[in-house]
Every structure is written in structure tokens, then in C-alpha cells.
Structure 1
Amino acid sequence: MTLRYRAAVLHQAHTPLEIETIAAASIAPLDVLVRVRAAGLCHTDLEVIDGSLRYPMPIVLGHEAAGVIEDVGPAVRHLKTGDHVVLSWNPHCGHCYCCDRGLPILCEEYLAKGPRAVQFDGTCKARRANGEELKHLMFLGAFGEYCIVQEQQAIAVPADIPFDRACLIGCSVMTGVGAVLNVAHIGHADTVMVIGCGAVGLSAVQGSRLAGAAKIIAVDIDEGKLALAQRMGATHGVHANREDVAAAARQETAGRGADVVIEAAGNATAFRASVEAVRPGGEVVWLGKIDVNHEVNFRWGALMQEKRIRRSSYGEARPARDFPMLARAYLEGRLMLDDLITQRIPLDGVNAGFSALREGKVIRSVITFG
């Protein structure tokens, strides 16, 4: 019997998502059927809605999710019905040029199929009531009561972690913490500056604390977010509309600049500030995104003196390794996820949730399913 379920579907950029009853495909041998219990609203979803990130449509958005395994394909070996899982949006083949070099985020199959908004086996896993094929954002399409993904994308985590907290691990927390623990090189005496205190930036603040940074300077234009950053481990807060960001970094480091700057704001001003604030020989990790065709200008002198600049999309995630580690860190009280959630909303509230995200009123809105 065909499984039918409710999902949020985007038919055209700059229009609201529509809640529809859609039909799931049959699961393939390597697939698992996940009953989605919680899904976070991310800026990447918003970029698709606002038209700066272009995908074929109609499409089911949502790529930060957690749920329960409802069914497994006959070739699935490591998951079973009832497992609690966090979903990864970075499936990879494991044998292409980039996978062989430890860069699954650049997997050739992943990069070829991702823009087509199909699942990793090249097919779509849901249809509208009229039979029209639906696309899936980032190999998931998790703004629905169910989704079908490959086994490698569903990572089992302890059942003790609530779904609304667990879903954050699938994107924002992995990106922010991973940028610090997996990408940057932070020593125990180092000063880290984090520009932008949304869900990703606040996760980077916490990653810096876990890495043992001596000073953590949080930068934002929202007093509430700066206060939250300090509760999560930042030692200093800088209001970017009132203080010079680079000068603040030098003031706290005897004039040198920060050893590592994590940019998580996603605008040209933040990109420029990051390279001005880092010390000679220091490291900059860019996490934020803007339209791919947008040009950003830099003062050439800010790029000199052996500074290293790195772009990271998913914190060099190894989901099977990192997701359970992050879940344990939460359960042990070392990773604060509760305060990242500004509001919990039903699926029908998804458009209001994105309006709040667009206006900068929330850290994370999380859709919760019964």
C-alpha cells in the first residue's frame, strides 16, 4: 500500500511553501524509510525560497532532521526499525577522486546529483497527488512526516537525546563545531573570534570551548545573541555596529589579531572583517554563504603575511563518527543545544518560521511532528 503523508512543497521561488499530501515511492534495497520527528529551518532552505540558490521544482525542502527508522531495504545492514537517527545531507560514493582524498563533501556523484535535487541513487522518492514527481533538497526533503534516504545518510544516535535537539546536529551544529574541531587548528592558548552568532556561529563558539581556546570573541549585531554566546562559552562579546571588529581582535591579543577567525554571518562585511581581524600567520574559516555570483572585494594588505583562508561547508563531517559524538556531548552536558531553539512550530507554521528567520528574530525554529 502506498504511504501518503503531509509535506511542505515549494513550487516557485518567492512564493510560500504549500502543505500537501504526497505519496512515497517504494524503498530501494539500500534505502531506509524515516519517520521525521523534528526538522530545523536553515538559511540554506531560505536561500531556495528567496531564489538565490536555484533548484528544480516542485521540491520538498528541509535538510536538518532527526527521526525514527520505520522500514529498511533488503540490503541495509547497519540499521533496524525503531532506531533513532540524525540525517546527513552529504551522501558520497567513497571511491571517486575526491572521496579517495578524504573530501566526501566534494564527491563527484554528490556534486553531479545534488543540483538535480534527486536522491543519491538518481531517483525521486515522492510524488504529488496528481502524479507529478517531487524533487528533494540536498538528498533529504525532510519538511514532511516521512522521507526516504540511503542507509549511509541515517546515523543512529542514543535514544535519550530529544528529536528537536538531535536534528540540529544534522547541519548547523555539525557545521559550526566541525569547523573548529575538524577544520581549524586551535591550540589551548589561542584566541578564536567567531563572527555571526546564529545557530552555526553559536555552535562554533561551543566548538572553540571544547577545543580549549583561551579566549573566544563573539561578534554580532544583536545583544541577545551576544549574551547567548557568552553563556555558551564566549569570553568576550563585540557589537559589530558599535565597535571595529578587527580593532577588538587586536585589543584582546596584544595587537596581533585572533589566531583563528570563524566567519558564520554570510555577508561581504563579515568576510572582509574576518581577514582584517586574524593575525599574521593565522587562519580564517568561512562558513557563511552569499549568492554564488556576488563579488566581494578585499583590501590586498589584509590577505598578506601568510594568512590561511579556508571555506568549509559541513565542518569536514564524517557523520558516522561525528553525529554520535555530538549527541553524547549534549547528553553529558558539554554541548548546549536547548538554547539554540527559539521556537517549536507545527508543519503548518513553516512559512511564518521562515519569515522570522529572514528577519533575524530566531536562532532556530524547529518543526516538530507528532
Structure 2
Amino acid sequence: MKTSAAVLRTTTTDRPYSDTRPLSVEELTLDAPGPGELLVAIRAAGVCHSDLSVVTGQRVRPLPMALGHEAAGLVQAVGEGVTDVVLGDHVVLVFVPGCGECAWCRTNQPALCATGAAANGAGELMGGGQRLHAADGTTVKHHLGVSAFAEYAVVHRSSAVVIDRDVPFDVAAVLGCAMLTGVGAVFHTADVAAGDSVTVLGLGGVGQAVVLGAVARGASPVVAVDPVPAKQQLALELGATHACGPDEAEALLTSLNDGGSRWVFEAAGVPAVMERAFTLTGRGGTNVCVGLPAPDAKVTFPALAFAGESKTVTGSYMGSSVPQLDIPMLIQRWRDGLLPVERLVSAILPLEAVNDAFEELAAGRAVRQLIHPGADWESTR
């Protein structure tokens, strides 16, 4: 079948938008789903900084590649051997497929699945190879097993979580990356308790999800830090007790927490911000690194702080989540009014405006923009 998709053929380290606009919306041929796979009509796809990192070359991926990894859609066809998904099911797509057999999957850590990571790095699906083909016959790589900036996608069964059909696609899409990563870091990696002090550095989609998770856990105070005033204001509206720019953070935390927070979440993926997060972590506290820096980036921490102040640094990938369990949990908390996911959505755009969406993201003006790939994108708001 044919599908329109946003394809990246050349990366750039410069602002790739107003001049080069590197993503091209192309008509591709999409193979039918093979054994263990699904065909999904994409209804909403989030524009995430992980996509931007591929565009700029910060995250090295094989090209050409059809981008997009945070999405929700409608199952259109089911491959051989899939018995627990039916036509018409609504699904959230997740960016690490799990093999179910490696040491990480067996210990309930599917975000660290070795087979899934290898497939993602090669731009392949879990079953091997690609299902997308350009007009000249060349194959187009898959982004994180999803490639959601497209009308249709073929994904491995483990990349999809079936959800209730009454959940709006615009809510469901954000669950697959921003909420799994941000809320999961609070609930699972840190296991924040009521009354714990929390600081969040970087208030994009993932950072705001951390704020939502901290508020849902009853943390206090919750301090949101970002140079963009509009993002600070959104964090306050989501329940943060305080918000400020980076230059004011240290003085504010000193006045609130006597020297730092119990938990400091870094959601920018920038080495200087990671180091700053460690500085803002209080004695006996933990700095949780959620953002994705460049592979060759290095950070420096004062060695004495580990033994001398009992500080800890820990990583969190996909929020240490188990998508098949955690996405239903997130939906229930959304239903209960504890996770107003829709507040994160900055704009809804057609597929043809995908370069505009990346320009807004790179400029720091957007939290979570959604792409509606179908021609009827306006009617699915």
C-alpha cells in the first residue's frame, strides 16, 4: 500500500528549518505486516526532542529514515501469529520493542531490551529489515520501531499497547513517550514519596510530565526551572509550587530546602544542565538524568559529593516503565483527573507542516506539538 511519510535524508547541525527544511513528505510503499506485526493508521503523533536530535545529527541513525516515535492510532491489519489484537483496536505506540526473552525483559525491564535496542539502532523492526520503500526502490529506515510521522505504520506487536477506545488519540499519543518517560521517572526510577522535595530542570514535554508525576505523588515543594517564562507558567498551572529561570534556581532552593532538593530531575539532555542538576541536589539526594545528550557528551561532577554528601546520580530510560502495565495506569490516573495530559499539547498540525513543528521545538516555544497525518486531520482534533 501507499503512505505519506516524513523522511529525513540528510542531517544538519545548523538550524534545519527556515532554510534547509530537511524533512520531506514523500509517498512511500509500505509492506503488509509480517508475522508478529500490526498495520496501524496513525491518528496523532507527538513531536519530541528525540526526533529533533536525529534531525540535527546529535543522535546518529541510519538514513534515509521516516521519523516519529510517539503516537497513537487504529489497527488496520494483523500479521500472522498475533492473537491478542483485533482490527479496530486503538493502540499507543512505544519506542522500545521488547523481545520478552533477553535478561532485561525477563527481569521486567523492557526499556533496556537488548534485541529491541539493536533493532532500533539499525533502523529495523524487531522481525528484521524495513517495511518502507521509496519511489526509487530503496528502503527507508524505521525510527525506533515506529516511524509515526506517516499516515500508516507497520510495527512489531510489542511496540503497541491496546487501550480503551474512548481515550482521545491526542491524549493517547503523549502517553507513549513523554508521559512514560517523565511520570515513570518519578513513579519508578525515583519512587518519589509524598512530602519529598522535587526540582525539574527543562520543561519540555518530558519535563512537564515529571512535574505532573511529582504533583500526583504529593511532592512538596515542586520547583520547575526553565529559561522560557511560558513554560514556567504552564508548570505552575500543572501544580508546581514554584517556577523560575536557571539563574534563580540555586537561591530559591536554598530558601526552600536548606541547600537543595531530595530529587532533581534533569530533562534537557544538555551536559551543563546535567551538572547544574547535580549542584542543586541536596545532601543525601538523587539527581535523576532523563534527557538524552549526544553520545560523545561528557559531564563532570565533584567527586567528594558522592561520599562526603551521599549524593547519587541515576539514569532513567523510558521512565523505567513497563508499557503494557504503565499505559493503562496512566490512563486511569488521567480519568481520575490526576494527570491532565491534554494540557501538554501546544499545537495540532497536519503532516505537511512537520518542518514548522521542528522549528518551533528547536526555538524552545513548544511543549508537545501533535501531527495529525491523515487528510482529515482537522476533524480528528
On whether the aligned pair clears a TM of 0.5, the verdict is yes
Alignment partner, residue 33 of structure 1: 39
Q: Which residue of 2 aligns with 1:196?
A: 202
Q: Distance in 2 between matches of 1:13 and 1:95?
A: 35
Are residue 287 (structure 1) and residue 290 (structure 2) matched? yes
Match of 2:239 in 1: 233
Secondary structure in 2 matching 1:252? helix
Tell me, yes or no, if structure 1 residue 22 matches structure 2 residue 20.
no
- Partners of 1:143 and 1:276 lie apart in 2 by 38
Structure 2 residue corresponding to 1:213, chosen from 182, 200, 219: 219
Tell me whether 1:261 sits opposite 2:260 in the alignment: no
| 1:179-190 matches, cutoff 5 A | 179-190=185-196
1:82 aligned residue (64, 88, 110): 88
2:109·2:322 contact (CA, 8 Å) conserved in 1?
no
Unaligned 5+ runs, structure 2: 13-19, 377-381
Superposition pairs for residues 117-128 of structure 1, below 5 Å? 117-128=123-134
- Counterparts of 2:99 and 2:219, CA distance in 1: 35
Residue in structure 2 matching 1:91, options 77, 97, 100: 97
Write the deviation string for residues 10-57 of structure 1: whole angstroms up to 9, x where unpaired.
111125111111111121121110000010111111111111111111
Return 102-111 or 179-188, whichever deviates more.
102-111
Shift of 1:329: 2.0
Aligned to 1:361: 365
CA separation in 2, counterparts of 1:166 and 1:350? 20
CA spacing shift, 1:227–1:204, aligned 2, 3 Å: same
Residue of structure 2 in register with 1:4 after alignment: 2
**1-side partners of 2:41 and 2:61: how far apart?**
25
Contact 1:247-1:277 within 8 A present in 2 as well: no
- In the alignment, which residue of structure 1 is the partner of 2:325? 321
Are 2:286 and 2:311, in contact at CA under 8 Å, matched by a contact in 1? Answer: yes
Q: Which amino acid aligns with 1:12?
A: T
CA contact (8 A) 1:83 1:156 kept: yes
Asked whether the 8 Å contact 2:347–2:369 carries over to 1, the reply is yes
CA–CA separation in structure 1 for the residues paired with 2:155 and 2:44: 16
Matched residue, 1:68? 74
* TM-score normalised over the length of structure 2: 0.92
2:153 is aligned to 147
Q: Secondary structure at the match of 1:365?
A: strand
In 2, are the aligned partners of 1:246 and 1:273 still within 8 Å (CA)?
no
- Superposition deviation, residue 302 in structure 1: 4.0
Give the drift of 1:247. 3.3
Secondary structure of 1:360's counterpart equals: coil
**Matched residue SS, 1:68:** strand
CA distance in 1, matches of 2:23, 2:189: 35
TM-score (norm 1): 0.95
TM-align CA RMSD: 1.4
Q: Distance in 1 between matches of 2:264 and 2:285?
A: 8
CA–CA separation in structure 2 for the residues paired with 1:23 and 1:96: 32
How far 1:159 sits from its partner (Å)?
Answer: 1.8
Aligned equivalents of 1:110, 1:154: Cα separation in 2: 13
Residues of 1 paired with 2:62 and 2:80: CA distance? 31
Question: Structure 1: where are the runs of 5+ without partners?
Answer: none
The Cα shift of 1:74 comes to: 2.7
Query: Is 2:94–2:160's contact at 8 Å kept on the other side of the alignment?
Result: yes
My pick for the range that moved more, 11-20 or 352-361, is 11-20
What SS does structure 1 have at the residue aligned with 2:318? Answer: coil
Q: Does 1:311 align with 2:315?
A: yes
Q: Give the Å deviation of 1:97.
A: 2.4
CA contact (8 A) 2:124 2:142 kept: yes
Structure 1, residues 148-171: CA drift from partner, whole Å, max 9, x if none?
111121111122221122101010
Asked whether the equivalents of residues 178 and 206 of structure 2 are also in contact (C-alpha less than 8 Å), the reply is yes
Matched, 1:131 2:156: no
Which of 245, 253, 272 pairs up with 1:249? 253
Read off the aligned partner of 2:147 and give its amino acid letter: G
Q: Indicate the SS of the match to 2:277.
A: helix
Q: d(CA) in 2 for partners of 1:276 and 1:237?
A: 18
Identity of aligned residues (%): 35
8 Å contact kept, 2:228–2:364 = no
SS at 1:218 equivalent: strand
Which region of structure 1 is more displaced relative to structure 2, 184-193 or 198-207? 184-193
Deviations 1:258-284 (A, max 9, x none): 111111122222211211111221111
Distance 1:157 1:285 in 2: 29
Aligned length: 365
**AA of the residue aligned to 1:133:** T
Residue aligning to 2:228: 222
Deviation at 1:347, TM superposition (A): 0.3
Give the stretch that moved more between structures: 99-108 or 275-284.
Answer: 99-108
3-state secondary structure, aligned to 2:139? coil
